[in-house]
Structure 1
Amino acid sequence: MRTPVLQSLGRYQIEAEIGRGAMGVVYQAFDPKIHRDVAIKTISLAGQDAGDEREYRERFAQEARAAGRLSHPGIVTIFDAAEDPDTHEPYLVMEYVAGEALSKILSEANGKLPLHAAVQFAQEIAEALDCAHSQGVIHRDIKPANILVTKEGHAKIADFGVARLNQEVVTQTGQVVGSPAYMAPEQMLGKPADARSDLFSLGVILYSMITGFRPFQGNSAQTVCFKVMNVEPVPVTTFQHEVPPALDAIISRAIAKDPDDRYQSGAEFSRDLQEFREGDQSFAEATSFFARVIAKDLR
């Protein structure tokens, strides 16, 4: 954690900077009114002209309201949305999750996790996505950096209500939109994302957690985009011979090029993963053991 430059934001007392990206900064803060720790994500409007900025603020309010209605154990809860009184830049106040980003956990584990852990996380994410999708909320940027793993060893999705706003800004500034390695083909073609787009991204994450490799790789964003749209990935079993064919089939369906060939809902994806987990008692026991181990490591 970095020592923050800000001391406060609205009524919130800034305690530490816990993340920084092209679109803003994430802080750990304290809400003295409710007496709880929170996370605050600021959103930079640098480079926006007055007209675009006004429209962006309206979109921010709409997205925050939609995401703020989501209530699920697998989704980071949004508590508040406001603007910095000095810079007038918007920010979101969210549930503070004590844990680590899945991206960091994967990095420290040389890119992959035990099979039972990967399936557990994927099922939890699928269930959380089903909750959001049932209320008409699409994430659009499901990737390991946006998945937090709690000290208890469970996955939670962060940045609902932020991904679409970020994409609107970067589109106007000419930057690459989204995370190509995890984006669905239709997103790359500029088509509207839907629930199946998020589930494609989850399929890519599951593939990566099991093999240690992303299914679509390249030395440039253009190469990755080409492969996502045109090249079939190497089967998971090529890298991991012990992966049961049933799980390979689940992943292949999740990352199908045509949205109609994919899982149509998070509930459907979750059901197949649950059936897979229940099919082997030793697998279920290993999942429970891993949850206890990762909880101990994150404390």
Structure 2
Amino acid sequence: MSYSETQRDPLELLFSEYVDRCRAGEQIDVASFANENPELKEEILELFPTLAALESFKKQGPPISDVDQQQIESGLQMGEYQLLREIGVGGMGIVYEAFQKSIQRRVALKVLPREFSRQKDRRERFMQEARTVAQLSYRNIVPIIDFGEADQRCFFAMRLVEGVGLDWVVLRRNQNSEPITSNEVLDHFQQQGVPLTGIDKETDEDDNDEDSLAFEFDYAAHSATQRAKQQPRWTLKPDSWKQIARIGVQAARALEHAHNAGILHRDIKPGNLLLDYEGILWITDFGLAKSEKELSITGTNDVVGTMRYISPERFHGQVDARSDLYALGLTLFELCINRPVFNQTNRSELMRSIIEGIIPAPRSINSKIPRGLEAILVKATAKQPTQRYQSAAEMIQDLRAFGRGLEVKPITQIKVRTKKNRNWLPGITIALLLLCLLEAYLLANYRVLFPRTPQVTTSVQMKAGALDQRLENLDRMYNQVTGRAISTDLTRTSPLLPLPDNQRNLMQTLLNLYRQLRKDNEQTGSVFTIEDIDNRIQFIRKLLS
């Protein structure tokens, strides 16, 4: 890549959050949102009004605010593509239904707004998305057909998926308990967005898949006359738990293919998973995707993606395939409870809940969720990556077992999470007190342990060894309090997060112990160890401030 990941600004993340909140029905204007994010207030006030107009949140469509938008609404021709209507937004690109004249087919055309097309880094990121998806060829990943530039706008063409995002499914199930059918999904797809022209649509061929929602129907009997008779291909009822498992299997299959190719999506969420008329699940919007090789080279600690679906370790600069599976687990969780798992609107509170792994037990929200499915959701969304599914293949195995009525292995290492599970803090407090007693003992018996004898060198070496061991013990305590290695935190470049109240007192005690250790260590003359301790003291002081 020709651009550095560390150059990615947080505007994409914030705009995605703004879109999600508006689509969920929250009444929030750009000025209010800017006040919630004072560090980027000027940029938000400058860019978001234009982006909001292009996004078209309201049913009546976006206002015609400039010549650029007027050209699009009049049926702008981009190369061989004629834009028909706006159907959504992905990252910083607007997605249109378009007609490709050369081979007479409809496509989805993702267009980078002109103001962004002029910015080299955004152009490169946009085209990188096309190059990334072009490397993947799989049934459940929306394929790239073409990409190029016309009228100072970058674009790429994708297969047109006649379906809806799972965010719409969650919202619809929350507002209406009636079953969702394939016909309703198709109707919503045809009615959504802003029509630009009126070209007729061709009919796609039906396609069967054992993991699709339509598989349980008699495919042979329905394939020829299905749409003519207006009989649904599939139905998603409030208690269609096996159908939710099928959705999970299809998404996990696509992620498995991407992960095997060394590509991480990094923005899995309901809005980026499309469910079509045939019950096929499609993953789209690879705008934040990165290869594992690129991530290892850049070593970035940037947090990108939609906040609500970012895994805890990503706030500490760590990301791998298990981070994508965590986001998929949250998505399936939301399909089961028909609302966001994290419903905090305050950004700091949301971040803290994610980092601390405060996720309620699925059955505590909806007692009708089968225990086998709950076990899958809990494992997929575990706070520690080591406790999650280690690969998409593992998750597929459990989801398919549940879908076939087989027993899912009970959770042995992961307890169903409630706030009561945070009883480890008193234990750490006791451990720190014991460490304090050890410190006091070492100080009181210093002359006994390290007497001034002619063999000064040997005594100093013994003392230095004891102090090194104390440093290791303190580092272990830091790991117990925060769940992170202090060596990792010392090298991180992303902003520090505020400590929860129940950790501040423990961290203050640790700071005092590090200070005492430094004082004792001065007598050994070990400059290297003193520098290590100073780094820790400065870091913890900054953390507490």
TM-score (norm 1): 0.79
In angstroms, what is the RMSD of aligned CA positions?
2.6
SS at match of 1:219: coil
- What is the deviation of 1:226? 0.9
Aligned ranges 1:159-198 → 2 under 5 Å? 159-160=285-286, 162-164=287-289, 177-189=304-316, 191-198=317-324
Alignment equivalent of 1:146, drawn from 253, 257, 272: 272
Indicate conservation of the 8 Å contact 1:138/1:198, yes or no: yes
Aligned ranges 1:203-242 → 2 under 5 Å? 203-242=329-368
Indicate conservation of the 8 Å contact 2:93/2:113, yes or no: yes
User: Does residue 1:54 correspond to 2:138, yes or no?
Assistant: no
- What is the deviation of 1:202? 0.4
- What is the deviation of 1:20? 4.2
Unaligned 5+ runs, structure 2: 1-58, 62-71, 178-237, 291-302, 408-545
Aligned residues: 264
Aligned ranges 1:1-299 → 2 under 5 Å? 4-20=73-89, 23-44=92-113, 46=115, 53-83=119-149, 85-87=150-152, 89-110=153-174, 113=238, 114-160=240-286, 162-164=287-289, 177-189=304-316, 191-279=317-405
SS at match of 1:178: coil
Indicate conservation of the 8 Å contact 1:186/1:192, yes or no: yes
- What is the deviation of 1:204? 0.3
- What is the deviation of 1:227? 0.5
User: CA–CA distance in 1 between the matches of 2:171 and 2:288?
Assistant: 23
- What is the deviation of 1:274? 0.5
Indicate conservation of the 8 Å contact 2:162/2:276, yes or no: yes
Higher RCO structure (Cα 8 Å, ≥6 apart): 1
- What is the deviation of 1:70? 1.3
Could you say if the C-alpha distance between residues 221 and 29 of structure 1 is closer, same or farther in structure 2, counting changes exceeding 3 Å? same
Cα deviations across residues 35-67 of structure 1 (Å, max 9, x unaligned)?
22100111247479x7xx334434444442221
User: What letter corresponds to residue 133 of structure 2 in structure 1?
Assistant: A
User: CA–CA distance in 2 between the matches of 1:238 and 1:268?
Assistant: 25
User: CA–CA distance in 2 between the matches of 1:57 and 1:47?
Assistant: 7
Cα deviations across residues 76-113 of structure 1 (Å, max 9, x unaligned)?
11112222x322x3222110011122111221111795
SS at match of 1:163: coil
SS at match of 1:247: helix
User: CA–CA distance in 2 between the matches of 1:184 and 1:6?
Assistant: 41
Indicate conservation of the 8 Å contact 1:217/1:223, yes or no: no
Could you say if the C-alpha distance between residues 19 and 63 of structure 1 is closer, same or farther in structure 2, counting changes exceeding 3 Å? closer
- What is the deviation of 1:243? 2.4
Could you say if the C-alpha distance between residues 238 and 105 of structure 1 is closer, same or farther in structure 2, counting changes exceeding 3 Å? same
| 2:538 counterpart residue number | none
User: CA–CA distance in 1 between the matches of 2:364 and 2:91?
Assistant: 36
SS at match of 2:158: strand
User: CA–CA distance in 1 between the matches of 2:78 and 2:353?
Assistant: 43
| 1:291 counterpart residue number | none
Unaligned 5+ runs, structure 1: 166-175, 282-299
SS at match of 1:216: coil
Q: Which moved more, 1:134-143 or 1:108-117?
A: 108-117
User: CA–CA distance in 1 between the matches of 2:357 and 2:281?
Assistant: 30
Identity, in percent, stands at 35
Could you say if the C-alpha distance between residues 133 and 8 of structure 1 is closer, same or farther in structure 2, counting changes exceeding 3 Å? same
TM-score (norm 2): 0.45
Indicate conservation of the 8 Å contact 1:142/1:202, yes or no: yes
Indicate conservation of the 8 Å contact 2:116/2:122, yes or no: no
User: What letter corresponds to residue 28 of structure 1 in structure 2?
Assistant: E
Cα deviations across residues 227-271 of structure 1 (Å, max 9, x unaligned)?
011033111111222323222121111111122221122111111
User: What letter corresponds to residue 102 of structure 2 in structure 1?
Assistant: K
SS at match of 1:65: helix
Could you say if the C-alpha distance between residues 47 and 25 of structure 1 is closer, same or farther in structure 2, counting changes exceeding 3 Å? closer
- What is the deviation of 1:22? 7.0
Could you say if the C-alpha distance between residues 264 and 135 of structure 1 is closer, same or farther in structure 2, counting changes exceeding 3 Å? same
User: CA–CA distance in 2 between the matches of 1:192 and 1:12?
Assistant: 41
Q: Which moved more, 1:236-245 or 1:95-104?
A: 236-245
| 1:287 counterpart residue number | none
Cα deviations across residues 190-243 of structure 1 (Å, max 9, x unaligned)?
x25321111110000111111123322212222111101103311111122232
Could you say if the C-alpha distance between residues 13 and 206 of structure 1 is closer, same or farther in structure 2, counting changes exceeding 3 Å? same
Structure with higher helix content: 2
User: What letter corresponds to residue 100 of structure 2 in structure 1?
Assistant: D
